[in-house]
């Protein structure tokens, strides 16, 4: 019975104190990636900017006989 009490205390410790640790709370901070990738408008704007900088690729369907 003492063994189960120790395990319960260890599990309880992790459930209470780990969510408040700075490492986990750091994941919830607003980062630049999180701001852009959760906003559809910003994501579309970024995709268009990237498309402007890359050369257009020729489609494989238009090349060939026909």
Look at residue 29 in the predicted model and tell me its pLDDT: 59
Alpha carbon distance 15, 18 (integer Å)? 6
Q: What is the residue-level pLDDT of the chain in tens, covering all 66 positions? A: 788 899 988 888 877 776 655 555 555 555 666 666 677 888 888 888 888 888 777 766 665 665
**Residue 45: both structure tokens together:** 């704007």
CA angle 37, 41, 47 (to 5 degrees): 70
Q: What are the start-end ranges of the H helices in 1-66? A: 2-17, 22-27, 32-37, 40-53
Alpha carbon distance 36, 50 (integer Å)? 14
Alpha carbon distance 44, 50 (integer Å)? 10
pTM: 0.34
Question: Where are the domains positioned within the chain?
Answer: 17-53
């Amino acid at each position: 019975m003492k063994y189960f009490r120790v395990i319960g205390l260890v599990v309880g410790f992790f459930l209470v104190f780990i969510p408040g640790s700075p490492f986990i709370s750091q994941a919830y901070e607003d980062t630049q990636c999180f701001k852009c990738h959760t906003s559809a408008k910003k994501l579309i704007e970024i995709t268009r900017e990237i498309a402007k900088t890359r050369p257009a690729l020729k489609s494989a369907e238009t090349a060939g006989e026909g």
